[in-house]
């Protein structure tokens, strides 16, 4: 089955620690995205990538970093510079019509 | 500043009733998307509207797009409990077809 997978489902971060969220897709989509969702809020764009080895900052990129070494993979690192990282993180990829398909999400909590 | 505004943000309905959710946006766009999110879950694509006058229907939900008015509607017919969820509209503002701008979502609760 084609789809997007994210891991882990739950992640706990200690102060000063960097953590990496995984996102993999087998839909053969060129474009991939990372969003952050806070309780009761809509989605805010962190980073997006339209092609391998290229990515762009979204509205809230500070404290986050990404890489796009393979078409299928778009990992997100939450660095210690992100002071309030507790949120639900959603990865997506898009088709020709820019319809975005979302992974199941990673819930990150700061201890 | 681009704005995508949904209203209402919260909607409590009785089963069997009809209602409409509105999505207004502040810039030119010919593409609009509707998503559904169940509590604690990810987003599921419902409708893709790609031109002025587009209308899509699936079961008890019907979505339409008026690009001149910069307005999309999601109409619910004869609501049932299974429709309880949060519904998001999202607008594609880039000519290159990149990032979407999401509304804050409308949380729908259907009760008997």
pLDDT digits (tens, 9 = 90+) for B70-105: 999 999 999 999 999 999 999 987 754 467 889 999
Residue B61 pLDDT > 70, yes or no? yes
Q: Is A9 on the interface with B (CB under 8 A)?
A: no
| Residue A5 pLDDT grade (very low, low, confident, very high; cuts 50, 70, 90) | very high
Tell me if residue B93 falls in helix, strand or coil: coil
Confidence at residue B38, expressed as pLDDT on a 0 to 100 scale: 96
How many Cβ atoms sit within 10 Å of the Cβ of residue A38? Answer: 12
> Is residue A27 within 8 Å of residue A72, measured between CB atoms?
no
Q: Is A101 on the interface with B (CB under 8 A)?
A: yes
Nearest to B99 among A48, A99, A104 (CB): A48
> Is residue B25 within 8 Å of residue B70, measured between CB atoms?
yes
Confidence at residue B98, expressed as pLDDT on a 0 to 100 scale: 62
Residue A77 pLDDT > 70, yes or no? yes
User: Partners of B47 in the beta sheet?
Assistant: B34
Residue A39 pLDDT > 90, yes or no? no
Using beta carbons and an 8 Å cutoff, which residues of B are at the interface with A? Answer: 31, 33, 35, 41-45, 48, 50, 88, 90, 92, 96-100, 102-105
Distance from CA of B18 to the nearest CA of A (A): 24
User: Partners of A6 in the beta sheet?
Assistant: A23
> Is residue A17 within 8 Å of residue A80, measured between CB atoms?
yes
What token pair was written down for B35?
């998503």
User: Partners of B71 in the beta sheet?
Assistant: B24, B66
Nearest to B97 among A42, A98, A102 (CB): A98
Work out the average pLDDT over A5-11: 96
Chain A residues with CB under 8 Å of B88 CB are 42-43
Distance from CA of B112 to the nearest CA of A (A): 24
Confidence at residue A1, expressed as pLDDT on a 0 to 100 scale: 61
What token pair was written down for A39?
């309780």
Mean pLDDT computed over every residue of chain A = 93
User: Partners of B9 in the beta sheet?
Assistant: none
């Amino acid at each position: 089955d084609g789809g997007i997978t994210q891991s882990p489902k739950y992640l706990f971060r200690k102060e000063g620690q960097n953590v990496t969220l995984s996102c993999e897709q087998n839909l053969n989509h060129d474009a991939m995205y990372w969003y952050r969702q806070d309780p009761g809020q809509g989605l805010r764009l962190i980073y997006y990538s339209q092609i391998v080895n290229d990515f762009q900052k979204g509205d809230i990129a500070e404290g986050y970093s990404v890489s796009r070494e393979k078409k299928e993979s778009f990992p997100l690192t939450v660095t210690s510079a992100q002071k309030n990282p507790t949120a639900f993180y959603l990865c997506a990829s898009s088709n020709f019509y820019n319809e975005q398909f979302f992974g199941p999400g990673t819930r990150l909590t700061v201890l | 500043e681009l704005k995508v505004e949904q209203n209402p943000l919260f909607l409590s309905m009785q089963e069997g009733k009809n209602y409409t959710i509105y999505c207004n946006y502040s810039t030119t766009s010919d593409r609009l998307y509707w998503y559904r999110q169940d509590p604690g879950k990810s987003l599921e694509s419902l409708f893709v509207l790609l031109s002025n006058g587009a209308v899509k229907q699936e079961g008890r939900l019907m979505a339409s797009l008026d690009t001149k008015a910069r307005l999309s509607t999601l109409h619910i017919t004869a609501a049932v409990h299974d429709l309880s969820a949060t519904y998001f509209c999202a607008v594609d503002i880039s000519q290159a077809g990149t990032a979407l701008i999401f509304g804050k979502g409308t949380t729908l609760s259907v009760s008997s």
